[in-house]
Amino acid sequence: MEFVQFHPTSLFGTNILITEGARGEGGYLVNVKGERYMERHAPHLMELGPRDIVARATQREIDEGRGFEGQYIHLDLRHLGREKIMDHLPGIRQIAMDFAGIDPILNPIPIQPAQHYSMGGIPTNVDGETPLSGLYAAGECACVSVHGANRLGGNSLLETLVLGARAGRKAASNVKGEKEGFNPLAFQKQSETFQSSLRERSSGKGEESCFRLRGELKTVMTNQVGIFRRESDLLSANEKIKELKERFGRIGIKQKKLAFNNEWIQYLELEGMLHVAEVITEGALARKESRGSHFRTDYPERDDEHWLRHTLAHKTPEGARLEYKEVTITNYPPKERTY
């Protein structure tokens, strides 16, 4: 779960994605000095470099003071001309106009990197089966390891279509032979536990709020578990997440009825976010190397000898417990990226 993909171009202020197609059509990334800064980071590929390289380069420009207002850089499409933008990128133009009040035919688009995709997820086999009998997963919530440490653009749709279909077929096939072993008591027990939690939260005083905790979680993950990671930041983030999990238990739900109860949705989403944040941080702290989308400034080199392996995280009352398993190497042994 420590392998989190950051998209290099999201609309500043909203984080709506600006497709890589904008750079594919010839868009320029420009800093406050007017430089196409990718020339320093990937001179042969420029704006068409891999997502992780372009995202790190862009964040460096911002961190080192070469961003506009210290927060964003420009994606410049003006040189493409009105006809090409209207023909090839009409959706991107509409997004920029609707959400930033900017017409890319006339002005550059302000962009910044944004968290985009998780390479990790629930471990499954190629048929979507998980270690928990009867539970199937496919898509971004699953990890079949088709993406390795750094997903290629477009492959998530392919994964969803292929492995989603396989999971559906396998589930349909298995359920026909498992009706006799079905245990409704397990579902009843889980339902009772959930309803007990509802009653407990509804009767709480509500010393804490979902909005406050979610905002603090967003800040710590962005600043300390983002594109660039280092041990001191990760340790600090880990402590903050533990604090937030403790405070989470003091949230109260004021709206009692379940129908259209947004408070409950926010509560349950935040609970999941805290668990996910903990696992990402623990995995990133333990992995003392840089690989794919995971970049440690204190361990900038890839280390196949010690870290060519999958991280497995297990939930315990004390927090995440990590284990590791070997990577299956088939026709293409992993090697360093070169251009």
Asked if residue 85 lies in contact with residue 185, where contact means CB atoms within 8 angstroms, the answer is: no
Residues 6+ apart with CB under 8 A from 318: none
| Euclidean distance between CA atoms 284 and 75, whole angstroms | 30
Q: Residues near 277 by Cβ (< 8 Å), separated by ≥ 6?
A: 217, 220, 221, 225, 241
> What is the number of helices (H) and of strands (E) in the chain?
11, 8
Provide the pairing of β-strand 142-143 with 122-123. parallel
Distance CA 31, CA 52 (A): 18
Distance of CA 11 to the CA centre of its chain: 17
**Residue 282 exposure: Cα atoms within 13 Å on the Cβ side:** 19
Burial of 277 (0-12, 13-18, 19+ CB in 10 A): buried
Amino acid found at 80: L
Catalytic one of 7, 56, 296, 302: 7
b/e sequence 279-296, b meaning 16+ C-beta within 10 Å: bbbbbbbebebbbbbbbb
Report the alpha-carbon distance of residue 321 to residue 317 in Å, rounded.
Answer: 10
Q: What are the distances in angstroms from CA 14 to CA 21, 98, 149, 219?
A: 19, 11, 27, 15
- Establish whether 314 is a catalytic residue: no
Q: Identify whether 23 is a catalytic site residue.
A: yes
Tokens of 197: 């939690």
What is the residue type of 52? D
Q: Which residues are catalytic?
A: 7, 23
